Structure formats: C-alpha cells, structure tokens
Structure 1
Amino acid sequence: MRVMAFDYGTKRIGIAVTDPMQIIATGLDTIHPIKIVDYLKKYMQNEQVERFVVGEPKQMDNTPSQSAQHVRGFVTLLKKNFPDVPIEMLDERFTSKMASAAIAQSGMGKKARQSKELVDTVSAVILLQSWMETKF
C-alpha cells in the first residue's frame, strides 16, 4: 500500500506518494485546499493508501510556526473524511528551501524553477523521503 505526504499551504497543498512497495517517493500533484477531499476520495478509489504524512511547520526553536493552526485544521479534515488512515506528523523545516535548491540544480528553465506549485510538490516529495528514511 502507498503512503501519501502533504506539504500544506493555505493556497496550495503539495502531494507526494510512494509506490506500492514504499521504495520511491514521487510528486503527485498540487491541489487547492478546497478541492483536497474530493481529490483524495477519487484517488483512493483506485489506490490503497496506508497512511498520510503531514508536514508539521516549526520555527527554529522547535515551537509551532504561525501556519501550524492551518495544518491542524487540515489534519482534522483528513481524520474526519478518512478515519481509517493513520496520520503522522513530520517536521517540515527547510523542505521548501531544499525543494527550491533541488529544482535549481535540475537544469530546468527559469519559468519552471519559479513555479510555486512545483516547489510545493517537490517539498512533499522531500517530506515523504524523510519519512521513508526514518522507517528503514
């Protein structure tokens, strides 16, 4: 079964997913928060998802960042709509910076590098890879 990770933002949610054997993390999509439940219900009609991993926004001193309240609301929404899917929180500090650096090093054109949607999706991939590394 797959594991799905979310880089939550109030404008966009970056989504990444593992392969069924949980070896490779791949960027899946970037969705507006209003559309996330319908998107996930449709996705999960065809794919089995074992758990959700949600990026937990923290400040450098390990306290919750300003966006933490929005992430808590998102987690509540996931629990309400997908009660059988366990949710794990994972520190997401630096994922956006790492994503931007990875995109810059990829050789993509300037327009692609400036895509906030791409940064959000790659951030979710980095988050999911980090989660996978803690499991093996």
Structure 2
Amino acid sequence: MARILAIDFGTKRTGIAVTDELQMIASGLTTVATGTLISFLKEYFNNEKVELVLVGQPLQKDGTPSDVETEIKKFLEIFTKEFSELPVKRIDERYTSKMAFQTMIDSGLKKKQRRNKALLDEISATIILQEYLYNT
C-alpha cells in the first residue's frame, strides 16, 4: 500500500500530514512555506509512494467557502498539472484550527510554544487526515 497525504493549505504556510504505508496512523510531517509547496511535494513524491492527496476545504459555519478557497483552487490547478496521476479529495476542514489549538493545550504545551503557527498548521493537517481515516 501507499501513503495518504493531507494538506492544510494556507496563504503563508501549509501544514502536511501523512499516513504510514498501511494507512492506519496519521502523523504530522511538516509545515512548508506555501511558495515552496509544489517543489516540496515533487521531492516527497519522488521518495515516497502516495496514492491519495487530501486537501482541506475551508468552509464557513453556513457552508459557504472561506476567502482562502480562491487560492486553494489556483494551487489545485497547478497540482493537477504537475501530478496528474494522483487523485485529490477535498475534506471539510471546519474547526480543525480550533481542534489543533485545543490539542496543543491538552498536550501540555506552554503558552509560548502554542504561538507556533507552523505547528498549529501541521496538527490541523493531521486532524484532516484522521477525520478521513475515521470516516472511510
């Protein structure tokens, strides 16, 4: 089997999480500057087998797309040109940032450590991936 990779896309930073090869465990991989995301993914896909990419779909409480959706669609156009063989699924990511922040609190991180937005993005991507694994 191959891994599943989840992306929590942001205009500045993007959190990335992956499963193990058996697709049982979701783990945070890293956070990258969004401008370098495609080159990071090229290198990662060259080294690891990935069979599915999940991209968070940020929705408002009422179900309408959030402002960042325009940027995500631009990213997805580039992604599908570069990696046409990889299927992409969109996953509702409402409340993942709040859940990630609560996870940081629950795990005992100090206030200064909780200000680390890169870690928050990585945890958010992990939550997106966990939700997918739980619901499939």
Stretch deviating more after TM superposition (21-30 or 106-115): 106-115
| Residue of structure 2 equivalent to 1:84 | 85
| Residue of structure 1 equivalent to 2:99 | 98
Identical-residue share of aligned pairs (%): 44
User: Displacement of 1:89 after TM fit?
Assistant: 0.2
User: Displacement of 1:41 after TM fit?
Assistant: 1.1
Q: Structure 1 residue runs of 4+, over 2 Å off?
A: none
User: Displacement of 1:134 after TM fit?
Assistant: 1.4
Give the aligned residue type for 1:131. Y
Kindly report which structure 2 residues correspond to 1:105-116, keeping only aligned pairs within 5 A, or say none: 105-116=106-117
User: Displacement of 1:109 after TM fit?
Assistant: 2.2
CA distance in 1, matches of 2:102, 2:75: 27
User: Displacement of 1:110 after TM fit?
Assistant: 2.1
Give the aligned residue type for 2:131. S
Instruction: Verify: 1:117 aligned to 2:118, yes or no.
Output: yes
Instruction: Verify: 1:57 aligned to 2:58, yes or no.
Output: yes
Q: Deviations over 1:64-105 (max 9, x none)?
A: 111111111111121111100000001000000000000011
**Residue 7 of structure 2 aligns to a residue in which SS?**
strand
User: Displacement of 1:44 after TM fit?
Assistant: 1.3
CA distance in 1, matches of 2:26, 2:70: 27
User: Displacement of 1:20 after TM fit?
Assistant: 0.4
User: Displacement of 1:111 after TM fit?
Assistant: 2.0
Q: Where does the alignment leave 5 or more consecutive residues of structure 2 unmatched?
A: none
**Residue 20 of structure 1 aligns to a residue in which SS?**
coil
Q: TM-score, normalised by structure 1?
A: 0.96
Instruction: Verify: 1:128 aligned to 2:103, yes or no.
Output: no
Q: Where does the alignment leave 5 or more consecutive residues of structure 1 unmatched?
A: none
**Residue 107 of structure 1 aligns to a residue in which SS?**
coil
Stretch deviating more after TM superposition (108-117 or 14-23): 108-117
| Residue of structure 2 equivalent to 1:10 | 11
CA distance in 1, matches of 2:13, 2:135: 26
| Residue of structure 1 equivalent to 2:42 | 41
**Residue 88 of structure 1 aligns to a residue in which SS?**
strand
